[in-house]
Structure 1
Amino acid sequence: MKNWLRSSLIPFACITTMVVMGFLFLPIHTTFAQDVAVQGLQTVGDASGLGQEDIRVIIGNVIRIALGFLGLVAVIIVIYGGALWMMSKGDPAKIAKAQSILVNAGIGLAIILSALIITQFVLNALADATGLGTGTSTSSDLITIDPLSSSLGSGIIDSHYPMRNAQDVPRNTSIVVTFREAMDAASLMDGYTGDPSIALPLRAGSVVIYPTNLGESSALPPADVNVSVTPDLKSFVFDPAPYLGSALEDTAYTVELTNDIQLANGDSAFTGAFADGYSWRFRVSTELDLIPPTIESVIPIASTTNARNILIQINYSEPVNPISASGPTSSFSNIVATGAAGTIAGSWGLMNQFQSNEFVSDLACGTNSCGEVIYCLPSNDAITVDVLAASLAAEPPAALLPPNGVIDMAGNSLDGNSDGAATGPSTDSYTWNFSTNDSIVLVPPQVVSTTPAITPGMPGQNVAFDQPVHLLFDSLLSLNTVNADALQLRSPTENLWFTFRSVVSGYPNPTNPAVTIPSHEVTVLHGVFSSEQIYGVEVDSSLRSIYQNCFTPSRSQTCTGGEANCCNDESQSGLCSYPHFTL
């Protein structure tokens, strides 16, 4: 037994350790070629019904099982050695044999345990590096590439919640998708007859929601998912009847939008390069969200006087449910702007990853520098804005549904006074006042700075693969225009997903650095860049300021040559070869 243990168990365990380390440390390169290949492989995988897990993850799990089996064998050998010692009856030869077995089994067990620890550490490190790891997870749902992702930005998808690879998502969350065009609600809602105010079950085959490691066979039944839609037929809220995940361990989920989904005109929502649909993953925690949303800032600032073509904006502490926070004033009253003549007619939109409202009135009052119509608030008026908290259900902060006030993605009512508790509309609604004059401001927004930084004629250099792209403007923007119609992340294959997040920032006044000018910084969130490739952000005149004047592509604070376009911060008369405004 002694010779067998030394010649077989210990060398085998050592070899196993080296194989684990060598294989798991092979580099993983995420490239566009892989993206294209994986798109095709996923199609084949879907048709075959076979699993689509990364091969390194599968082998890592097999190795863990094998090491666990070897550990069991070692424990059995230890038990055998102990039993042999106990039955030796003082025989020195038998005692020596038992001791030898125990010593060698202990050595083998130590090596096996070391290999298991190293394997677990490496797999967790890979999980964290690829965006779905928690540092302690042992699940096999790691993401190393982004198949079926390019419809976000380049295709029909404007934004969704939870975001791609989101972590610590509460179990009681809703899932929300906003499309760039009006959709055929009947292709997503079973029994839809034209009334967007009625929540209906999910239409089978349109959206599939399932725990990633269990596969599509474990998808939530359509009858267990209630679907609501905003009046513009662009934002759909999917509310799972049972909570997602488990109270015991984190759970990764996959959401798939299929090519059964149709536009309002009956055409397929996913065509051409996007014909296979869209898919993303996120990780659900073990916790429920019981924290109500608050309001972080508002525009115009309270008690100020403003040009009448300013837009009204509300910024929340977290994403809020679009059913509760968007719609035309003709049918939506959870947020109300009132002037001397009563409710101001217009429409409340929800954008900026569902964290900002923007109000545009119905009163046309002129054109901007691009010849587009602008809309104004009543002139020389005192305006009050009321953001209503929702009535509470039996277990606050949860709101009654459908909500008669603003709620977050977990159904918690607005905490308007920010005291940490939701108490309903009579005490927790949020109100502020401002005034307008008779002026109209028509100054176009300009780019102040970019990250990665650029120099005239040269793109940014040595950019990290996951580097967010930032554009700081010299003014506040219309958040409704910070979208893929106005900004494009250009890539060699034009299939890298991207979306936007804007925050109120500021920069020093050039003539008085002690004064900070309020402005927006736009972040372009995106898929992983590939090495040795040129990327760029293209900004066109569809982007507008908070006063609704259009961005001029030929201008930034440092690109002032007067030509039609600005290419890598150089003025140019013709179109930039690729793209109009590169980073």
Structure 2
Amino acid sequence: MASSNGSSKLVIKITASCFVLALAVILFAPASPSLGGPAVAYAQTTNDVNQNLEQVAAETPLQNAGLITIVGRVIKIFIGILGVIALIIVLYAGFIYMTSGGDQEKVMTAKKWLINGVIGLAIIFSAYSITVFIFNLFTDNEYQLAGGPQYQTAGLTGGAYGISGGAFGNIIQNHFPKPEQTGVPRNTMILVTFKTPILPDSVIDITENVCPDSLDPKTLCGAIKKDAFRVFRCADMIAEAFEKPEGKTCASVPFFDIAEGNACKADAECKGGLCSNGVCTDNKLVSGYGIITEDHKTIIFNPYGDLNQHLGDANNDVPYIVYLTPAIKKDSDPKQTIFSKAYPDYKWRFTTSIFLDLTPPTVSSVVPAKVPTPPGYPLKVSEQTGCKCKKGEEIGCSKVDCDGYVYLNQAIYVNFNEPVIPPLTQTQNCNAGDSDNEAQLVSEKVVMTKDAEGKDVLCQNNHVPGGWKVGINQYKTVQFVAKTKCAGGATNSCGEPAFCLPEKTDLTGKVLAAKILTGTIGLPGTGIMDLAGNSLDGNANGKTEGPGTLDAKQDEAAALDNFLWTFATGNALDLTGPAVIKLEPNNATGDLGNLDTIIKAFFTEYLDADSVDTQVELIGRESDGKDFKSWFDANLGSTVLTEMVDGKPVVVGEEVDMTQVAITHGSFGKYNEGDKFLPIYTPIMKSGIKDSRQNCFSPMKEDPGANVDKSNCAQNNKAGQSCCPNSGFMLNPVPNPVGEDASECAMPDIKK
């Protein structure tokens, strides 16, 4: 009996010890939400080593597992072993009982073994339940030890995974479609604009003759290089990444690269594809041609390059992934990737609809304004809002000078109602080659320019020397800036030389419609088209008529779909910068309800679209103390247009609002009880933001009459310093030169 009792107690002690050991492993494991499964492995972090390891892991068939997942699997094995031991004990008790032959001592022994075995099973089942409960507390997720890989949400509306990181906003200036955009037409092109020039040969193969004959021979065009610019269906990614893809969707799984294009030695390494010449091929990557703009910053990718072949499906919405790899190189250093250690690559998702876009784009507005002729220019100053004009006291808030003419240092802007393919030729050299540019600015008389030695020379034609900036404001705006320095060495509010249009001259802006290939579709490189290839509807009559005359003096109808407008310059300069009059949300706003809210700043006058794209930052700190590493995109704002229908306002579209900065971004974090820090985010309006006459924003010039927080900006700021609009944020006391990359705003030490 003593031996039997000792054995029973030993079994209970072993079972209890294993249970305590399992709990100890859990309780002393780092209890951080960041130790999750694959989804968290692909969330953007500040750890460069982790990012590089994750990138390698994504290219292998093995799946990532966090520490808690590994601990769970170990505990699962231990609990399984204990269950087997308990079952053996019960069977042993039954064997003793069946062979007791009526011996009461053996019967009592069997009963005790059976009771202890049942107690052991109860402890094991309790251990399982408690373990699952504790794991749910740590992971904020419904965890199942018996299941496969477990996933956590990562900040997208609807609980999907955010795969777009901070390369968008820090390295990438614009791209289309946008992150997680849905309803994208099947015949869309894909555009990406970088903040610095890229090496064309790293993205396209110009030796492959796959480009339209309509392109200028000098245009850089070639087959897209699939090791650098990878586009594929989410369904193909899921099929490769998971043995059991059933029930998994693009919004519920992390990012994995697909095998096609990777090095291989056998077909088996290609996961269903073929290993041809040491490279996996299975036609899952979308082919096509790419065009590089003149400034080497924008890639225009035409999927398949065929009018009869499109993305998606005519019957179902189809999610896609675009993966930009480190194979994209810097133009200035062909050995260096365009990405960085902090942001080693970039990927995003979008979803195509079942529709094709066959509606041509239109011009929504231009600056300087198009006005009826007659009366034309000069405009009546009384019609300009917010301007109390006195000669010699230009205050920079009016759209024209005090005589009603356009300021000499005015930049030219063309805004469209939807994204368009940027003009491929951007430089206007006032020579014979300018006459077929997709966008032009022409003077009524031949103007002077500077030669290579800086001497004045007469232009070969009437085109104003300067250049068009593209890839800005979500591809809805193009802008022209003259390259002739203003007389007298005038400088703008940034301390830079001011550049001027010809003085006291009638100027004509010309935006060409593309030559028609078929239906609404235009020929690339011959004029303005939207991202579906529809040629510009310059007269906004709802028809695609193609280009007409470029002579603004002829009847306007003769221009057909070319958009022409004329304005007149005076002899005055505006050298005063813009001022902030309103912020949304207000400075130091707490408990922000919508974590995806668009951040807005309102200014006193029209802003320069290119500077808004490049001179706005968004920094922040999450509740775990880590930096905000999601994407952000700063553009000009927009105003919703409505018309009265049956006595009720009906939205009919939107128009670019050039007085507004609008920042979209990845979802902000939410504070939960027990978090170490309050999440806090800081939009930075750098002094490099300019108005439409190229004058820098100066924080101390906020409108004194407006009811607006002063944003803790010092009142003695000089050009080159930035305003950091958040309570507790201070300016760097050392002025940074305009355009410097480094952030000037430090994070405040705000505890919960």
| Structure 1 counterpart of 2:200, from 177, 185, 197 | 185
| Residues 520-543 of structure 1: per-residue CA shift (max 9 Å, x gap) | 111111111012311001122211
- Deviation of residue 187 (structure 1)? 0.3
Q: In structure 2, what is the equivalent of residue 301 of structure 1?
A: 369
On the 8 A contact 2:220/2:293 being kept in 1, the answer is: no
| Residues 400-432 of structure 1: per-residue CA shift (max 9 Å, x gap) | 2x3311001111100011111111001111111
1:227 partnered with 2:290: yes
- Deviation of residue 240 (structure 1)? 1.0
Distance 2:318 2:536 in 1: 28
Secondary structure of the 1:483 match is helix
Give the alignment of 1:144-293 within 5 angstroms: 144-146=161-163, 149-154=165-170, 156-191=171-206, 197-215=219-237, 216-217=258-259, 224-241=287-304, 242-264=309-331, 265-266=333-334, 267-275=336-344, 277-293=345-361
Q: In structure 2, what is the equivalent of residue 337 of structure 1?
A: 441
1:578 partnered with 2:746: yes
Secondary structure of the 1:425 match is coil
Distance 2:464 2:364 in 1: 23
Distance 1:51 1:336 in 2: 54
Distance 1:283 1:358 in 2: 30
Q: In structure 1, what is the equivalent of residue 682 of structure 2?
A: 536
On the 8 A contact 1:389/1:428 being kept in 2, the answer is: yes
Higher alpha-carbon deviation: 567-576 or 167-176: 567-576
Structure 2: unaligned runs, 5 residues or longer: 1-36, 66-151, 209-215, 238-257, 261-281, 371-375, 378-404, 447-461, 549-559, 622-626, 641-656, 671-677, 734-743
Higher alpha-carbon deviation: 160-169 or 194-203: 194-203
Secondary structure of the 2:169 match is coil
On the 8 A contact 1:334/1:406 being kept in 2, the answer is: yes
- Deviation of residue 463 (structure 1)? 4.7
Distance 1:325 1:418 in 2: 23
Q: In structure 1, what is the equivalent of residue 660 of structure 2?
A: 521
Rate the CA distance shift 1:196–1:151 in 2: closer, same or farther, 3 A: farther
What TM-score do you get using the length of structure 1 for normalisation? 0.71
Distance 1:33 1:291 in 2: 38
Rate the CA distance shift 1:319–1:567 in 2: closer, same or farther, 3 A: closer
| Residues 184-231 of structure 1: per-residue CA shift (max 9 Å, x gap) | 100001146997514210123011100112113578677931011101
In structure 1, give the amino acid aligned to 2:358. L
| Residues 486-527 of structure 1: per-residue CA shift (max 9 Å, x gap) | 111011214221112213669xxxxxxxxxxx8511111111
Q: In structure 2, what is the equivalent of residue 373 of structure 1?
A: 497
> What RMSD, in angstroms, separates the aligned Cα atoms of the two structures?
3.4
Give the structure with the larger strand fraction. 1
1:434 partnered with 2:567: yes
Distance 1:236 1:552 in 2: 34
| Residues 543-583 of structure 1: per-residue CA shift (max 9 Å, x gap) | 11101111113332253862326554789775486369x9x
| Residues 107-152 of structure 1: per-residue CA shift (max 9 Å, x gap) | xxxxxxxxxxxxxxxxxxx99x945x8xxxxxxxx832235x2111
On the 8 A contact 1:472/1:519 being kept in 2, the answer is: no
- Deviation of residue 43 (structure 1)? 2.5
Distance 1:367 1:315 in 2: 27
Give the alignment of 1:377-388 within 5 angstroms: 377-388=501-512
Secondary structure of the 2:201 match is helix
| Structure 2 counterpart of 1:483, from 593, 597, 613 | 613
Rate the CA distance shift 1:554–1:339 in 2: closer, same or farther, 3 A: same
Give the alignment of 1:38-53 within 5 angstroms: 42-43=54-55, 45-49=57-61
Secondary structure of the 1:535 match is strand
Secondary structure of the 1:443 match is coil
Q: In structure 2, what is the equivalent of residue 497 of structure 1?
A: 631
Rate the CA distance shift 1:263–1:545 in 2: closer, same or farther, 3 A: same
On the 8 A contact 1:476/1:504 being kept in 2, the answer is: no
What TM-score do you get using the length of structure 2 for normalisation? 0.56
Work out which of the two has the higher radius of gyration on C-alpha atoms and give 1 or 2: 2
Rate the CA distance shift 1:567–1:356 in 2: closer, same or farther, 3 A: closer
Rate the CA distance shift 1:577–1:448 in 2: closer, same or farther, 3 A: same
Structure 1: unaligned runs, 5 residues or longer: 1-27, 54-125, 134-141, 507-517
Identity over the aligned pairs, expressed in percent?
28
Distance 2:619 2:322 in 1: 26
- Deviation of residue 364 (structure 1)? 1.3
- Deviation of residue 178 (structure 1)? 0.5
Distance 2:684 2:690 in 1: 14
Secondary structure of the 1:353 match is helix
- Deviation of residue 32 (structure 1)? 11
